[in-house]
Structure 1
Amino acid sequence: MSPRLSPYTSHSRDSSRDPSRGPSRSPSRSPASPSISEITPGLFIGTFEDSKDIKTLMHNSITAIVTLCRRRAPEWDRAGNRMLVAPENHLVVPCADMPDEDLLSKFPKLCDFIESRLHPPPPTLASVLSKGPSGRGGMLDGLEDWDTTEYFASHNVLVHCNQGVSRSATVVAAYLMRKTGQSREACLEVMKRKRKVRPIESFMEQLGIWEEVRYELWEEDGEGGRRPKEAYRRWLEKVGGRGEECRKMGE
């Protein structure tokens, strides 16, 4: 039987604050930015700003990132950021929050990446520092050359777009649907308890197709090859000129 999503209480890092004291004002981000949100254990949705803020990454033990936007941040390549999130643990999928954007054909790759990186929490910063080379000043001095491959065998995953509302929510919903076997509505309902997510209408349609094909876009054609399932075939026809590109992704 497929595991079911639990109505986890919010894991927002500011959830325990006294609301009468007003919103948290971290010096590392704009006060207007929504906080990073833990949707299920180890799986977070956040903003573009979250993806480059090393304090946010460290505070939430983020060691893998899925980027769903067309811009890049130079901070991603800083030594401290790359110590936490190595290049092989950062999947960048350029896309826009537009009605003609095709995320559906990318769902398998995105879900596989999240699944491969989503493991028990990584070591605490204190334990990392205790096993790394001695610093020469700042806490991160000298760690750039330390091979953390084995030590960071487990990951928390941040999925982000610009505001953490539509694209990132769509991909996390696709992952949870495949992981748990629950419906689009059920997964989004759980997500909305943690964050104000709202995929655009086109992405909702794509999640509906994802549910209809039971998280497999392709099927055997009886002749040793594969063909798109009926619902996906209709989608390929709808996207028109991008159909061939989508087909290649399934080969």
Structure 2
Amino acid sequence: MAVSGDTEDSSCGLCTAEELTDIMTAASGRYTLLPNTPYDEVYPGIYVGEEDFAKDLIQLKRVGITHVVNAAHGDTPFHSQTDPSRYKRIHVRFLGVPALDHMNFDLTPYFQSSADFIDEALQSGGKVLVHCVQGVSRSATLVIAYLMIKKQMDVRDALRLVHSHRDVCPNDGFLQQLCDLNKVLFKDK
């Protein structure tokens, strides 16, 4: 994504990974908390969760999940091994994003396609699970990007909303990528 201009103030989109970390840790005395549930609805129809929940087809059907985004799609121990064939028999649509939870992994090329997939799920009356291994970094980043792109939310508001429903902690690299997205989306505001 192209980023332009460096003179914006915080009300116009400029933010830092440190500022976003402060938002996530303010209520806990500056500690990073991890979720104590396998999944949480963070926005109507959008669930963020961990790999074990994503693999439990009975629970997915019980919750009414119709679409799955695997934000850690791949075959290494750092990925989550869910794929389209797992969901075909229960008629769940699938999108795989081969992200690593590393500060230098560029997740931005997947922001738009993930946002489109999530939006399509919601527009069709479905429910979407966005998961990674623990449901705290990669998956949360994609959901925050969705809220920014499709719901025109500022990164701070999107993070606060998601974090109010699930303890998430995207890594600093992903937080900076969200700040960069915010700068692009709100450059004229």
Q: 2:55 aligns with which of 45, 52, 63?
A: 52
Question: 2:85 maps to which residue?
Answer: 77
Q: Is the radius of gyration larger for structure 1 or structure 2? A: 1
**TM-score (ref. length: structure 1):** 0.54
Q: Percent identity?
A: 33
Question: 2:141 maps to which residue?
Answer: 170
Distance 2:109 2:81 in 1: 25
Question: Is it true that 1:192 corresponds to 2:159 in the alignment?
Answer: no
Distance 2:97 2:132 in 1: 10
**TM-score (ref. length: structure 2):** 0.71
| Alignment of structure 1 residues 17-36 onto 2, 5 Å | 34-36=37-39
Question: 2:130 maps to which residue?
Answer: 159
Q: CA RMSD in A?
A: 2.3
The answer to which structure, 1 or 2, has the higher relative contact order (CA under 8 A, 6+ apart) is: 2
Call closer, same or farther: CA 1:53–1:210 in 2, change over 3 Å. Answer: same
* Structure 2, unaligned runs of 5 or more: 1-34
* 1:160 shift after superposition: 0.4
Do the aligned residues in 2 keep the contact of 1:62 with 1:85 (CA within 8 Å)? no
Question: 1:93 maps to which residue?
Answer: 97
Which residue identity lines up with residue 85 of structure 2 in the other structure? Answer: D
Aligned positions, number = 148
Deviation string, structure 1 residues 119-155 (Cα, Å, up to 9, x no partner)? 3xxxxxxxxxxxxxxxxxxxxxxxxxxxxxxxxx642
Question: 1:150 maps to which residue?
Answer: none
Give every structure 1 segment of 4 or more consecutive aligned residues whose post-TM-superposition deviation is greater than 6 Å: none
* 1:75 shift after superposition: 8.2
Distance 1:73 1:51 in 2: 10
Distance 2:51 2:130 in 1: 10
Deviation string, structure 1 residues 45-91 (Cα, Å, up to 9, x no partner)? 0111111101220121001000011235478635xx423344xx200
Distance 1:187 1:43 in 2: 13
Moved more, 66-75 or 99-108: 66-75
Do the aligned residues in 2 keep the contact of 1:173 with 1:187 (CA within 8 Å)? yes
